Chain A
């Protein structure tokens, strides 16, 4: 066994129990905690070159945090989506299947936009979802046209880096 894999193996046997407990206090539920602990080690295996053994628990926590955030994002999007469509008349309510697809779709967009400042995200989404011109966005958000232009460009650049230079 090569040394990076040995390192993962050692990490797993020494810290799996601890990680499980750590996740459980964040998520408040044992089944989700077990899933995310497992996922944490799967991610590690795909990234063995990044192993940092001086502080193994801090390292595991960094990965696990990312997964906790994914998990919460999913829950928040489900909640927000159901709330947004709650007022629709029954005839226009999407089927369970259509809802699941839309949630998955919005999740991938949200993941892409994560880390953007709220104003940058809002300006970008107004342009993308609602098709507003930069002038309309500036009026709507009470910003200068220059700021809106910069925000929209920043957001696209952020997406580019995430997609092509990760």
Chain B
């Protein structure tokens, strides 16, 4: 499954030319604010191809994120002066001390995951790797955040919007929203779609290329750019930039983490370790020879080292700790 998704994503990547066009549209619209003819032309361009729309969404959210972040720095010119001054200082130090012609770009190119730190900062509610927390929102809605997850709240007089920016949440509707004078619909958003719940409890998990929705109570209307589906209790869907489709039966209980558990049914060891890896820092994998072994059971998430330690009791594997943050499962000799 992960391999298929990666291929799918690569095939749908917008061409560089399209990204550049999206940037041109964004800048043109910003410099001609309120020009409705230009807005219509831009909308036409976006509708021409799903690549256009994807590039547009990304460019726009990147731009919004940057300006939102920079505006959060208090004081006039503080952000600008600090960034300019430090960039000059940094290039001076590089010239003095590293003395090499290599492209000096820091480790950003090595660690795509670093962008997670950024999202965590901006988010209203966030959890670190291995952490799980629940929050009662002022309107009575309850959200549970799984490991390495983040949401932003956008509550105004007219709406209640919860944006999942990273990871996985469970949302439980709290009924009447009594604190508000107006009727404010509750809406949840992930990178791939929006979800309008009706007296519902549901799980939303956002991965790189798609979002998985599981409805456990009530109903949730799913909307994407091109489609809408009404999901009812017991149903699961996968939502990506292209479509909404019923999710294949999962080999684990999707919401068990809220009780601190992973519950599996005949799950591949390789897939199981990817799941467990979400809850711990470092590097966890297994030898190809054991990746297809199957396991069923209930595992406690609170201490993943303990969890790993019991695997050799049920499977012909042994655990190898190269360091605290580097763990491999190998075939029993």
Q: Report whether B67 and A128 are in contact in the complex, using a CB–CB cutoff of 8 Å.
A: yes
Q: Report whether B87 and A63 are in contact in the complex, using a CB–CB cutoff of 8 Å.
A: no
Whether A159 touches B121, Cβ cut-off 8 Å, given contacts A69-B106, A79-B89, A111-B108, is: no
Q: How far is the CA of A98 from the CA of B88 in the complex (A)?
A: 24
Interface residue tally on B, bucketed by range: 35 or more
Whether A43 touches B110, Cβ cut-off 8 Å, given contacts A80-B85, A85-B78, A110-B86, is: yes
Whether A5 touches B23, Cβ cut-off 8 Å, given contacts A43-B107, A129-B80, is: no
A interface, over-half SS: helix
- Please, which residues of chain B bring their CB within 8 A of the CB of A73? 86, 90, 106
Q: Report whether A101 and B121 are in contact in the complex, using a CB–CB cutoff of 8 Å.
A: yes
- Please, which residues of chain B bring their CB within 8 A of the CB of A66? 105-110
- Please, which residues of chain A bring their CB within 8 A of the CB of B283? 42, 45-46
Q: Mark A100-112, 1 if CB is under 8 A from B, else 0.
A: 0110111011111
Whether A11 is near chain B, meaning CB under 8 Å from some CB there, is: no
Q: Report whether B98 and A65 are in contact in the complex, using a CB–CB cutoff of 8 Å.
A: yes
Q: Mark B52-76, 1 if CB is under 8 A from A, else 0.
A: 0000001100110011011111110
Q: Closest approach, in angstroms, between the C-beta of B321 and any C-beta of chain A?
A: 12
Which residue of the partner chain, among B66, B75, B288, contacts A88 with CB atoms under 8 Å? Answer: B75
* CB within 8 Å: A-B pair count: 189
Chain B residue with Cβ nearest A124: B66
**How many residues of chain A are within 8 Å of chain B by beta carbon?**
67
Which residue of the partner chain, among A46, A80, A157, contacts B20 with CB atoms under 8 Å? Answer: A157
- Please, which residues of chain B bring their CB within 8 A of the CB of A157? 19-20, 23
Q: Report whether B19 and A108 are in contact in the complex, using a CB–CB cutoff of 8 Å.
A: no
Whether B322 is near chain A, meaning CB under 8 Å from some CB there, is: yes
Whether A70 touches B107, Cβ cut-off 8 Å, given contacts A46-B283, A80-B89, A109-B70, is: yes
Which among A43, A85, A112 has the greatest number of chain B C-beta atoms within 10 A? A112
Q: How far is the CA of A92 from the CA of B66 in the complex (A)?
A: 25
Q: Mark B262-276, 1 if CB is under 8 A from A, else 0.
A: 000000000000000
- Please, which residues of chain B bring their CB within 8 A of the CB of A108? 69, 114-115, 117-118, 121
Whether A29 is near chain B, meaning CB under 8 Å from some CB there, is: no
Q: Mark A115-153, 1 if CB is under 8 A from B, else 0.
A: 100100110011011100110000000000000010011
Whether A68 is near chain B, meaning CB under 8 Å from some CB there, is: yes
Sample of 29 A–B contacts (CB below 8 Å)? A1-B330, A2-B288, A45-B282, A45-B325, A45-B326, A62-B102, A63-B110, A65-B100, A69-B90, A72-B90, A73-B90, A77-B82, A80-B85, A102-B73, A105-B121, A106-B83, A109-B70, A118-B87, A122-B84, A126-B80, A129-B71, A134-B31, A149-B27, A153-B23, A156-B26, A160-B19, A163-B62, A166-B109, A166-B112
A-B pairs with lowest CB-CB distance, top 9: A66-B107, A80-B85, A80-B86, A76-B86, A76-B89, A69-B106, A129-B80, A108-B118, A77-B86
- A-side residues, CB < 8 A to B, are 1-2, 5, 9, 26, 42-43, 45-47, 62-63, 65-70, 72-73, 76-77, 79-81, 83-85, 88, 92, 94, 98, 101-102, 104-106, 108-115, 118, 121-122, 125-126, 128-130, 133-134, 149, 152-153, 156-157, 159-160, 162-166
